[in-house]
Amino acid sequence: MCAIDALGVSAMLGQDVTVSSTDPVDGQLDTDTDTDGAATWEPAEAVVFVGRREGEGPAAEVCCDALDFFSSRVSTVQRHLAHAELRGEIVRQARAVRTGRRTFGPLLQTGDATVERLRRWGVKSS
C-alpha cells in the first residue's frame, strides 16, 4: 500500500489505525498511530517521500513504489540517489497525514458534502 493511502485509512474508516512500514534503505520500522485524529510517529523524525516514475499509467505502476515512509531525511536522500528515476519530494509528517486524509477520507462517505466535494474535483454524478 502506498504511504499516502495508508495515512488516509483512519479518516476513511472513521477509526483509530496504526500503520507500520519498513524503511526501504535502513530497514528500520516506521510507525504512524492515528488516535482520535492525532498522529504519532516513531521514529519522531520519520518522513514520507511523495513521488512518481516518469510516464503514464495506473497509479500502482507510476506512483506506489515512489510513495514511501522513511525513518529520516538522510535515508530518503540515500534512496533517491540510488533511484534517480523517481521524481518527487520529501514531505513532513503533518503534510503527509493531511494529504492522506484529504485524498482518502471522503471515499466511504455519503451525502451532500461528498457530492459537493466530488463536483469541486470535476467528477460528474448522474
Query: Residues, the chain, total?
Result: 126
pLDDT digits (tens, 9 = 90+) for 4-53: 888 988 888 888 999 999 999 999 999 999 998 899 999 999 999 988 77
Residue ranges and CATH numbers for the domains of the chain are: 3-120 (3.30.450.410)
The answer to whether 73 touches 30, Cβ cutoff 8 Å, is no
Give CA–CA dist 58/119, Å, rounded.
Answer: 22
Residue that is written with C-alpha cell 486524509 in the block: 101
Residue 39's beta-bridge partner residues? 34
Task: Give the model confidence (pLDDT) of 80-112 as tens digits.
Answer: 888 888 888 999 999 999 999 998 888 877 666
Distance in angstroms (rounded) separating the CA atoms of residues 84 and 87: 7
